[in-house]
Structure 1
Amino acid sequence: MAKSSSSTASSASPVSATSPASSPALPASYEAALQELEGLVSRLESGQLPLDQLLTGYQRGAQLLKFCRDKLEAVETQIKVLEGTELKPWVQE
């Protein structure tokens, strides 16, 4: 008995119901991660996704959020090194 593939129906949606082992790679930059996260949140809030895609989207969102937080923390650490141990307020010149 041959199984039919339903991948054509789900290929139009950027959030797919795949197994956690095949999760997409992390974005190349903070900006790319933030853009993907904003689009993902918009799709999740639309209420139009099936339950399994909601779960997958939530998991991807958590992954992207951690990536963004880690990037921001790394930049903050670099600023502390450059400015000493205290973060100084940024003043626009």
Structure 2
Amino acid sequence: MATKPKKNEPADYEAALQELEQLLAHIESGALPLDQLLAGYQRGAELLAFCRNRLQSVQEQIQVLDQHMSQPVPE
């Protein structure tokens, strides 16, 4: 069962990555006023942390599965 995202938290990794890519395009365009640039940078940092945490979680799950699969099968 999936947990409900917190306010302003992306629904999943793919949504966070897509938002981050769009945000980077806006920032790199150079068309944002300073206030929006700062807000965009802060949001980008939040999205990056979300993606890193999600990847870490998946990596840990894979390690658990690998350990389980490498154990000998009882006869």
| Shorter-chain TM-score range | 0.7 to 0.9
Report the equivalent of 1:90.
none
Question: How many angstroms apart in 2 are the aligned matches of 1:41 and 1:84?
Answer: 38
Q: Secondary structure of the residue that 2:8 maps to in structure 1?
A: coil
From 37, 46, 63, the equivalent of 2:29 is 46
The correspondence for 1:62, drawn from 45, 53, 69, is: 45
Q: 1:35-81 CA distances to partner (integer Å, 9 max, x unpaired)?
A: 00000000000000000000000000000000000000000000000
RMSD over equivalenced CA pairs, Å? 1.4
TM-score by length of 1: 0.64
Tell me what 1:79 maps to: 62
Give the number of the structure whose residues are more often helix, by fraction: 2
Percent identity, aligned pairs only? 63
Unaligned 5+ runs, structure 2: 1-6, 69-75
- TM (norm. structure 2) is 0.80
- Count of residue pairs the alignment pairs up: 62
Higher relative contact order (CA 8 A, sep 6+): 2
Residue 84 of structure 1: CA displacement? 1.5
